[in-house]
Amino acid sequence: MDKKKHLRILSEKEIFSGRPEWRNPGGSKYFAMYSSVFGGVVTDPALMVVPLDDHMVHRGDGIFEAFKCVNGCIYNLDAHLARLERSAQLISLMLPFDLPTIKQIIVETVAIAGKKDCMVRVFVSRGLGGFDCAPGECHKSNLYVVVVEAWDCPEYFYTKGVSAITSKIPIKPSFFARVKSCNYLPNALVDMEAEENGVDFAITLDEEGNLAEGATENVAVVTKEKVFMYPEFDRILKGTSLLRGVELARELIKIGILKGISQQNIPQKKAYESSEMLIFSTGPDVVPVVSYDGRPIGSGKPGPVFRKLLELFQRDVKENKNILTPVF
């Protein structure tokens, strides 16, 4: 082994001054970050850092939420904060602040970012303390709020529809499926599987062959009998977009596009035979699956339930003052 030292000892100035090259990837898309570790907000992407000994980093011991701000208002924020609180309770993680304070920090961070249209990611970590696995070495939890560029949904998602396959990645055990934790390795592998197979999404199944969820998406079907059907929540994350979609779908019953709504196990065969298959997610709200495992769904084109739900979502995002949190 070469005993000559080749590694340099870097100074703070070398890492953080000017425009460091290491921060080029993604840097222009990051607008503001609040950190309870530092007690404030930074707008320089090079300063948006998390200590390596935070257990969220090296153990995945933390929880998060992601939501959007549209035209200066955060959409469905209270639902996301309620889920954040539930996730914290499930893993015995004490939130660093009460929910009204966290909400205020989010609003102020978005205001500092100065972007009326953006995505917001909120992380709560077990905290700093060392590199052991035991949470006991963490003295207090930390809050991080990051404001990033709004997700730009490809136009064909809405006009032509998307393709999906069945994932081979095992579904999460029930307890972990219900926690929106920072340990997203299974989810990342599902996303990777979709990319490697040249499709837009991959969907996991439970051990009995029922539809579960995508990497970061919920899924539902519309049967030929016009029943909107979505999976039980015992093995999947309770998606805020899906729940909003269920509420909006009730309007479709009133106008005769749907005849009913049912939450139950959905065998893969029923998905193949459905008239429509829908994916729900924070970014696009709802998109139609027109091809699943190479088989056309319904007519192979976006259907009437999708088109009406998208219309209702777009109105909901912009006009529903009951679930909009003004920032600007």
Q: What is the CATH number of the domain that holds 129?
A: 3.30.470.10
pTM above 0.85, yes or no: yes
For residue 98, give its domain range: 27-149
Q: 107 and 145: one domain? A: yes
73-75 and 62-70: which strand pairing? antiparallel
Choose the final residue of a domain: 134, 149, 164.
149
Query: Does 324 map to a domain?
Result: no
Query: Which residues, in sequence order, are CB contacts of 56 under 8 Å at separation 6+?
Result: 50, 62, 123, 125, 126, 142, 182
- Is residue 5 annotated as part of the catalytic site, yes or no? no
Which of 180, 238, 254, 301 is flagged as catalytic? Answer: 180
Query: Does 249 map to a domain?
Result: yes
Q: DSSP letters along 83-113, please?
A: HHHHHHHHTT---SS-HHHHHHHHHHHHHHH
Q: 138 and 218: one domain? A: no
Choose the final residue of a domain: 149, 167, 184.
149
Ranking 22-26, 55-59, 93-97, 121-125 by mean pLDDT, the lowest is 22-26
Q: 171 and 303: one domain? A: yes
Measured distance CA(52)–CA(57) in Å, rounded: 6
Query: Does 162 map to a domain?
Result: yes
**How many domains is the chain partitioned into structurally?**
2
Measured distance CA(296)–CA(274) in Å, rounded: 10
Asked whether the predicted pLDDT for residue 57 surpasses 70, the reply is yes
Q: 183 and 309: one domain? A: yes
Q: 57 and 172: one domain? A: no
pLDDT tier at 23 (50, 70, 90 boundaries)? confident
Q: Crossing angle for the helix pair 77-90 and 99-113, nearest 10 degrees? A: 130
Q: Pick the closest to residue 236 from 194, 294, 173 (CA basis).
A: 173
Choose the final residue of a domain: 121, 149, 177.
149
Query: Does 132 map to a domain?
Result: yes
Q: 179 and 295: one domain? A: yes
pLDDT in tens, 129-159: 999 999 999 999 999 999 999 999 999 999 9
Q: 130 and 169: one domain? A: no
Q: 193 and 163: one domain? A: yes
Tokens representing residue 321 in the block: 């003052």
Query: Does 315 map to a domain?
Result: yes
Asked whether the predicted pLDDT for residue 172 surpasses 90, the reply is yes
Asked whether the predicted pLDDT for residue 1 surpasses 70, the reply is no
Q: 263 and 224: one domain? A: yes
Q: 95 and 200: one domain? A: no
Query: Does 6 map to a domain?
Result: no
Tokens representing residue 176 in the block: 């972990």
Asked whether the predicted pLDDT for residue 186 surpasses 90, the reply is yes
Query: Does 273 map to a domain?
Result: yes
pLDDT in tens, 228-245: 999 999 999 999 999 999
Q: 220 and 257: one domain? A: yes
Q: 301 and 225: one domain? A: yes
Query: Does 8 map to a domain?
Result: no
Place of tokens 């977009």: 241
Residue 240: the pLDDT is 98
Q: What is the CATH number of the domain that holds 290?
A: 3.20.10.10
Tokens representing residue 278 in the block: 């829908």
